[in-house]
Every structure is written in structure tokens, then in C-alpha cells.
Structure 1
């Protein structure tokens, strides 16, 4: 039963990190998206939070994505007077996405995903060895 719990906990971690990776990829993909008209906002970076949820069936706490929400930090400004979305001073708002931060978040999500995958592989190996002994 303990190995089953390890599978469930690690699978929940992998799901959460998969969502985290998707959000970071979406942010990177839109890092250069500019508005098309004056007064429009560019792409706003997304953030996510995690929470612990008790799985009563298994009797353990597992991680889940709590919320995906917009990052309320200020947009950047770029001087580009010929752009259709430029303001009166010639500046265009740019997304509040820092590609380097997103790449680091992707790397962290990847490592956490791999750690959870290693737990599943170790649990599987232990379960198979137990079955071999019982035969």
C-alpha cells in the first residue's frame, strides 16, 4: 500500500509540474507579443500557485495547482514610434515577461518532474523485486 501512495503522490507532482511547464512555455511564446492598437495591453504574464490537498482515499496530502493568475507587474515600454500601437510619445507597451526568469522556471519544473518520475521508477522497481521474491 505504501508503494501505491508513492505512485499517487509522484503522479500528482508530475501533473502539477506539467502545468507549470505549460504556463512557462505560454509566457515565453508570448514574450514578444505587442498590442495592435493604441490603448491595448500586450500579453500579461501568467503565474501559478500550488496547494496541498488531502486525498482521503489514499490518506496523504498531494500537490495540486491552486490558481493560474495574471502577473500584475508593470508592462515594459519600448520606443518604436512607427508601430501602430505607439502612444503620443512613440512608446509601445511590451509584455511583462522576462524570458530568462521563464527559462529558469522551466528548468526547475523539469527537475521536479524528473525527481517525481524517479520516485515512480524506484517504487516500480521495488514492487517488481517484491513480486519476484514472492513467486
Structure 2
């Protein structure tokens, strides 16, 4: 039973690591939501997305979640009229990042809930291991 609990803790720990990276990427996206290019016509900040993958740990035989890669979102940039901006083209239009704050908030909330669920799993497994050790001592 201890091996199964240790495996559960290992899976949950990999989930914590993955969601932590996801939260970092979402925070970076939100911080750069207004980052335009520095020269006329240059591209602004491009939103980043996290791709997950399932990896089999041969030592324990369990599948863990890992970050496959952090990639950029290929969606189009929006344009805003701001002739005073250094990144404005000859028509006064500035390319704005493809970051949607509502989507980022939803991603942040989902990552936060997943993080909390994985943390709760680790706490429960640790408690079960402690209870098992207590029963063996009796």
C-alpha cells in the first residue's frame, strides 16, 4: 500500500510542478498584455501557451504530467489607433499583443484549482502513510 501512496504522491507532485509552470506563463502573459513593439510596424509580445504531456516513469510504472513545451499562440494581433506610440505605423495603427485578459484569468483560475487539488492529494497520501505507520506500531 505504501508503494501505491508514494506513486500517488509522485503523480501529484508532477502535477504541482506543471501547474506552477502554467501559472508562471499566465502571469507573464498578463504582465505583457500591453507590450507593443519598439519600432513602427514591429510585432508586439506574443502570448505563450503551455502544452502538457503524459510521461511514464519506468521506475514506478505511473504516468506523470510534464510540460511538453511552452509555445507561442499563433492567433492574430489586434490593432489600435495610437499615433503617439513609437510602434505606430504611418496610419497611426499599433499592433497589440494577442493576450485576452479574460482568457488569462480563466487559465489562472483553472491552474490554481488544479494546483490545490494536487496539493490536497499529497496531504491525503501523507496522512494515510502516517496512519498506516501508527497502526503498525500498535
Q: Taking structure 2 as the reference length, what is the TM-score of the superposition? A: 0.95
Cα RMSD (Å): 0.7
Structure 1 alignment gaps of length 5 or more: none
Deviations 1:23-65 (A, max 9, x none): 0000000001111211211000001110110000110111101
Q: Aligned with 1:126: secondary structure?
A: helix
Q: Does 1:47 align with 2:49?
A: yes
Distance apart, 1:134 and its partner CA: 0.9
- Distance in 2 between residues matched to 1:38 and 1:78, nearest whole Å: 13
Q: Does 1:120 align with 2:122?
A: yes
The runs of at least 4 consecutive aligned structure 1 residues that moved more than 6 Å come to: none
Q: Taking structure 1 as the reference length, what is the TM-score of the superposition? A: 0.98
Q: Does 1:86 align with 2:81?
A: no
Q: Aligned with 1:15: secondary structure?
A: helix
- Distance in 1 between residues matched to 2:11 and 2:84, nearest whole Å: 53
Superposed counterparts of 1:1-135, under 5 Å? 1-135=3-137
Residues matched between the structures, number: 135
